[in-house]
Each structure stands twice: as C-alpha cells, then as structure tokens.
C-alpha cells in the first residue's frame, strides 16, 4: 500500500494575488491558522501574512463544513426538507425553521393563526438569547475570561430545556412548520418561560459585572477590529456586526414579520464599530429580547396553532378514523407532499447574527426547485479581513469572536 496521505503541492503562484509583495520576497511570514483551532469557532481556516506578530493580510478559507444542504433540499418534499434547515446554523435552529416556513407560507399565501405567530416570536427570541449566550461564552473565553464561559453555558441550558419541553429536542427542534407549529405548547410552558423572565435580568447583570467595566476586557476589546458603517454595508454585514457601527438596521423593526410590529422594543446600536461596541449591542439585545418575550407571553392569544387548510397541514389524528377526506389529506401529505405554486420569493428574518434570507423558487411541484440560503455569518466573515489589518494575532482572535460566526451557517 502506498502512503495514505498525499499532500497536494501548494505553490506560491496560486496565492500570489492574495498576499503582498513582501511575502513573495520572504520579508513576511505566511502562516496557516485553523481549520482545527480552538478560537476559530469551528472549522474556519485563515491564511495569515504576518510581520512579526502583526497581521498584514488575513484571507479566510471556508468550505470545510460544506454539507450541500441546498442541493439536498431540492430532492426532498417541503416538509421533509425542513429538517435540513436546523442543521445550517446550529445555534439558531428555531430561526432557520422560521425563515424557511415564512418563505413557504409566502409562496402558498398561507395564513398563520395569531397564537402560532406569538409562540414563534417567543421561541425565536429565546433562541436569540441562547445564541448570544454562546457568543458571550466563547468570545469572552477567547480574551481569557474563563468564568463567563461556565455561567453562560449554565444559563443556556435553561433555555434549551424550554425548547425540549415544547418540541422534545434540545437543539434540532423543527417545531415551527409551514402553516403554524408542530403542536401547541404544553401547560408547563408558561411557568418555564416566566422563570427565565424572572431570573435572566439578574444573570445578564452578572455577566456585565464581570466584563463591561473590567479593565482587562476593555484593553482587549476597545478600539480593536474597527469597521465603519459604510464599509460594513459595502461588505454586506448585517445584524449586531452592522449595528455596532451605527445603522439601526433590524428586520424585526424595518420589515416586521409574524407580528413583531405589536411589541415595543428598541434596536440597540453603538457607533464605535469595534469589538467592545458589538459586545454592548449584543448584551442589550438580550435584554430587549426578554422584553419581547414578556409582552408576547402576557397577551398570548388562545386558539389553534396551525392553519386548518389540511392540504398543507396534517389533519388531527382523531379525524383520521372518521373522515375520509382527512385520511386522503394525511396520505397525500406523507407520500407526495403538497404542491407549491410556480414562482420565486425571498423571505428574510433577523437571526441572532443578521439577515437570514431564503430565496425559494418553485416549479409548481412538491419539492423546492431551488432554495438558496442567504446566511448572515457568510457576509460577516467576508467583512472580517477589513477589521484585522495592522492588528496582532491575539486581536484577530477577539475579532473572530466578536462577529459571532457559525461555520454551519457559513458553509451550508
């Protein structure tokens, strides 16, 4: 047997246009960071050109977690394709389902009952907090604040418990379905969410006590990884990465979906555009999310949680034995699936990372003809090299943490 590892030869010619002339002359060093590296937040590879410890150029190389989800979804019916959406951004599974269902509902012009809309909002905001907790944990760990990591993971577990309560799964919930929800929330839901509402403000205060005025943390984050608002927009950055630079671009406010217009909340922004600004924005976003959850829970309407158009939503189990029509609907749904009118739409939600958009094209059949995910991490990561120029490697690590990328979201 020959040697199992043949390393393809990489010549400098292939990457010559990516680095400066000093690298070709041998004045600066080319260094590979990742894809297996604890502070690249997943399988991100960076090609770094270094002058001593200073970053001259930083070239992200992605694709190590590419799983072909867009291609796979084309071969599944609309219902079956939904389970793939959870796997995109694994810290925002509810949000991915949400964007997908909004796109499908937009195509069919399916109405969602108010109760389902409110529960969707509650879960999406809970997920936002859970996702921000992971960001807080890991990005603080990157700048050597170990204890926050443990606290944030402890609290995240409480939120995942609520997701498990409603869907049976901690992470890959697939709870939001086209036309509504999988089923209504259990009676314990209200108490579980109120428990979070009671305890979380204090928890967030605790994190802030540990970090917000901590001189070590300030040294590592203030003035680091600056990006101007114009540049952030030019690079397509959205979400907290953009809002840290000034614009108050939040799809929940600008293009309300699922009843977000009923809730009173603010869109936190900062103007500095550095790592610390993005930190402040996300911390305040967690507080705003709690406000939304409280309002939605207080006026949670009663009623059905999915549309009664059984061409798209399975009929209740109790009807199958007594109604021929329900039986036919059930059979058709689980064998052929439902047909979606011919056309194409773009639906977007504000995920914890930014604009999560779905471009969906249908040929009139039961499977998506083409589905494209506009994922926020992808564009935020593309904007990262702008922030890193002239900084140290240690700062680079803080910047990767601050843009909050999820590689499942980048590579799809």
Partner 1 sequence: MDKQLQPIVKKLKKEFGAEVTEFRGDVQVLLASEKLIAASLKLRDEFDFALLSTITAVDYWPEESPRFHIVYVFNSLSKNLQLMLRVPVAGENPTIPTLTKVYKNANWRERELWDMFGIKVDGHPDLRRLLMPDDWNGHPLRKDYPLGYEEPQFTFNYEEIDLSKPHGEV
Q: Does 16 bind partner 1 (CB under 8 A)?
A: no
Q: Kindly state the smallest distance separating residue 267's Cβ from partner 1, in Å.
A: 13
Q: Does 22 bind partner 1 (CB under 8 A)?
A: no
Total residues in contact with partner 1, by rule CB under 8 A:
49
What is the 8-class DSSP label of residue 20? Answer: -
Give the pair of three-digit tokens for residue 332: 């058709």
Which residue from 88, 71, 210, 237 is spatially nearest to 150, judged by alpha carbons?
210
In whole angstroms, give the CA distance from residue 175 to residue 152: 24
**Interface characters, 109-148, with partner 1 (x: CB under 8 A):** x---------------------------------------
Q: CB under 8 A: which stretch of 78-86, 150-158, 328-336, 369-377 binds partner 1?
A: 369-377
In the region spanning residues 78 to 97, those forming contacts with partner 1, defined by CB under 8 A, are none
Q: Does 338 bind partner 1 (CB under 8 A)?
A: no
37 Cβ partners below 8 Å, 6+ apart? 44
Q: Report the residue from 35, 223, 247, 365 that binds partner 1 according to the rule CB under 8 A.
A: 247
Q: How many CA atoms lie within 13 A of 321 on its CB side?
A: 2
Q: Are strands 354-362 and 370-374 parallel, antiparallel or unpaired?
A: antiparallel
In whole angstroms, give the CA distance from residue 128 to residue 126: 5
Q: Does 345 bind partner 1 (CB under 8 A)?
A: yes
In the region spanning residues 270 to 329, those forming contacts with partner 1, defined by CB under 8 A, are none
Tell me whether residue 12 or residue 328 sits nearer to partner 1 (CB atom): 12
Give the pair of three-digit tokens for residue 274: 């550095």
Q: Kindly state the smallest distance separating residue 395's Cβ from partner 1, in Å.
A: 22
Q: CB under 8 A: which stretch of 36-44, 91-99, 324-332, 340-348 binds partner 1?
A: 340-348
In whole angstroms, give the CA distance from residue 405 to residue 128: 14
Q: Does 32 bind partner 1 (CB under 8 A)?
A: no
- Interhelix angle 114-142/393-402, nearest 10 degrees: 170
Count helices and strands (H / E) in the chain: 19, 8
End-to-end CA distance of the chain: 35
Q: Does 106 bind partner 1 (CB under 8 A)?
A: yes
Q: H-helix or E-strand containing 275?
A: helix 275-298
Q: Report the residue from 266, 328, 346, 364 that binds partner 1 according to the rule CB under 8 A.
A: 346
Which parts of this chain interact with partner 1 (CB under 8 A)? 1-2, 4, 6, 8, 14, 17-18, 62-63, 66, 68, 70-72, 74-75, 106-107, 109, 230, 233-236, 238, 247, 249, 254-255, 343-346, 348, 355, 357, 359, 361, 369-370, 372, 374, 378-379, 382-383, 411-412
């Amino acid at each position: 047997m020959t040697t199992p590892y043949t390393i393809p030869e990489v010549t400098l010619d292939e990457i010559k246009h990516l680095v400066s002339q000093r690298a070709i002359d041998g004045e600066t060093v080319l260094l590979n960071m990742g894809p297996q590296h604890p502070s690249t937040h997943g399988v991100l590879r960076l090609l770094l050109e270094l002058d001593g410890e200073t970053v001259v150029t930083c070239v992200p190389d992605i694709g190590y977690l590419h799983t072909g989800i867009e291609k796979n979804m084309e071969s599944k019916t609309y219902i079956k394709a939904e389970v793939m959406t959870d796997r995109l951004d694994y810290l925002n599974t509810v949000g991915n389902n949400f964007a997908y269902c909004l796109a499908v509902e937009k195509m069919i012009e399916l109405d969602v009952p108010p109760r389902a809309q409110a529960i969707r909002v509650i879960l999406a905001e809970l997920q936002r907090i859970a996702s921000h907790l992971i960001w807080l944990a890991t990005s603080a760990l990157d700048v050597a604040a170990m204890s926050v990591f443990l606290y944030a993971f402890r609290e995240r577990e409480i939120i995942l418990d609520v997701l498990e309560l409603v869907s049976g799964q901690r992470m890959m919930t697939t709870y939001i379905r086209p036309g509504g929800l999988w089923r209504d929330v259990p009676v314990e839901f209200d108490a579980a969410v109120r428990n979070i509402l009671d305890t979380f403000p204090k928890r967030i205060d605790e994190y802030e006590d540990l970090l917000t005025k901590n001189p070590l943390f300030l040294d590592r984050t203030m003035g680091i990884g600056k990006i101007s608002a114009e540049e952030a927009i030019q690079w397509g950055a959205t979400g907290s990465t953009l809002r840290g630079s000034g614009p108050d671009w939040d799809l929940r406010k600008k293009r309300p979906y699922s009843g977000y217009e009923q809730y009173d909340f603010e869109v936190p922004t900062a103007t500095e555009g550095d790592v610390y600004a993005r930190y402040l924005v996300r911390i305040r976003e967690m507080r705003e999310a709690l406000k939304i959850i409280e309002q939605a829970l207080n006026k949670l309407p009663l009623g059905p949680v999915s549309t009664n158009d059984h061409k798209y939503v399975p009929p209740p189990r109790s009807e199958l034995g007594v109604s021929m029509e329900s039986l036919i609907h059930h059979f058709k749904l689980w064998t052929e699936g439902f047909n979606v009118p011919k056309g194409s739409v773009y639906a977007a939600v504000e995920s914890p990372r930014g604009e999560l958009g779905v471009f969906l094209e249908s040929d009139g059949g039961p499977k998506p003809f083409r589905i494209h995910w506009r994922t926020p991490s992808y564009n935020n990561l593309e904007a990262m090299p702008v922030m890193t120029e002239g900084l140290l490697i240690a700062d680079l690590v803080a910047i990767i943490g601050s843009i909050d990328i999820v590689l499942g979201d980048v590579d799809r």
